[in-house]
Chains A and B, each alone.
Chain A
């Protein structure tokens, strides 16, 4: 697991008030972790702030799983390098 994924997992666990061990790539953010639409907006804003990136609405609309979220963060952090 990359350092970016480590940091993202800790942030997601903190936001969702879950143990980090529950944040695994295959988990669906909504169905498995219980996030509602506002939880997801708050989570994406937190990740944008912590990684200093800005996601587009189109990209965030495609995110379903933790793996999707890791992929999105990695895509945007590469862009800003």
Chain B
């Protein structure tokens, strides 16, 4: 499998740390030193479906394929206003594809998990050209009266088109059941037969525990992938890590090794865009001609669950 097209889309509205100080007990210094985030994009006039379609259309255009040549649509999304139908169904018509598709929710690790599924489908002959769209609006499930979560997130979408090839070399997925570290609980409709009706609540995060688990498990995934393929960090050109917190990225780098230059970041300008963060980063790196044929690339993400994942590429165009 290889990636032949990428695309990304961000909402028009940019919100800086300074903007947040108007209604939150926070400061640019507090947010920047703890997260590396300086700004984020938030949905306001457009909706999630608009940016998902925009990113998908850009990726298809970059691939050189026509929409009718896409034969499977994989969408990664944690939550949007439709519980059903799936986001893949909602955007299918607007992208102009006619193939089947499905949604996955593996939190912020959704992109790497979707890559694993796409690789399996292509190898099994179920599809030749697959479109992955990661579209996320985490700002819609944060409590905007508290600074703990709301300052961390941004909305965004990233997409890739995949086809047959030998660039995707390996993948490692991890799941450790621990709901309480990070969760968003949705309210459901009451029934006459239940007296323990639960009202939903915004995202809850145990920051210190999440920080530690994210660093340790992500580093383990990466080291497993490197060891299994008889590689060291010195063999890797780029580590494209989930953009959740600059200090988590630094913590992973301290264990895995390699210079800061090998760990590019976009968190400064976009915040944590959940599963969209790696495809957005990838799209920007390809647009800037930073990725060359033959580059060895590790992608790694973690998220609520606790889940984490890492994969290895030797890039082909």
A: residues with CB less than 8 A from B are 36-38, 41-42, 44-45, 49, 57
B34 adjacent to A38 (CB under 8 Å): yes
Q: CB-nearest residue of chain B relative to A61?
A: B208
Whole-angstrom distance between the Cβ of B34 and the nearest chain A Cβ: 6
B216 adjacent to A45 (CB under 8 Å): yes
Contact with A along B171-209 (1 / 0, CB 8 A): 000000000000000000000000000000000000111
Taking a contact as CB atoms closer than 8 A, the residue among A38, A42, A57 that contacts B209 in the complex is A57
Q: How far is B254's CA from A45's CA once the two chains are assembled, in angstroms?
A: 11
> B-side binding surface: helix, strand, loop or mixed?
helix
In this complex, which of A37, A38, A44, A45 has the most chain B Cβ atoms within 10 angstroms of its Cβ? A38
Q: CB-nearest residue of chain A relative to B209?
A: A57
Taking a contact as CB atoms closer than 8 A, the residue among B33, B215, B216 that contacts A36 in the complex is B33
Answer whether residue B251 sits at the interface, using C-beta atoms and an 8 A cutoff.
yes
Taking a contact as CB atoms closer than 8 A, the residue among B33, B34, B207, B251 that contacts A45 in the complex is B251
Q: How far is B208's CA from A42's CA once the two chains are assembled, in angstroms?
A: 10
A37 adjacent to B33 (CB under 8 Å): no
Interface band, chain B = 10 to 19
Q: How far is B208's CA from A36's CA once the two chains are assembled, in angstroms?
A: 11
Answer whether residue B211 sits at the interface, using C-beta atoms and an 8 A cutoff.
yes
A42 adjacent to B247 (CB under 8 Å): yes
Inter-chain contacts of B209 with A (CB < 8 A): 57
Contact with A along B281-301 (1 / 0, CB 8 A): 000000000000000000000
A42 adjacent to B33 (CB under 8 Å): no
Answer whether residue B93 sits at the interface, using C-beta atoms and an 8 A cutoff.
no
In this complex, which of B33, B208, B216, B255 has the most chain A Cβ atoms within 10 angstroms of its Cβ? B208
Q: Given A42-B251, A45-B251, are A37 and B212 also a contact pair (CB < 8 Å)?
A: no
B34 adjacent to A41 (CB under 8 Å): no
Whole-angstrom distance between the Cβ of A41 and the nearest chain B Cβ: 5
Q: CB-nearest residue of chain B relative to A44?
A: B212
Inter-chain contacts of B251 with A (CB < 8 A): 42, 45
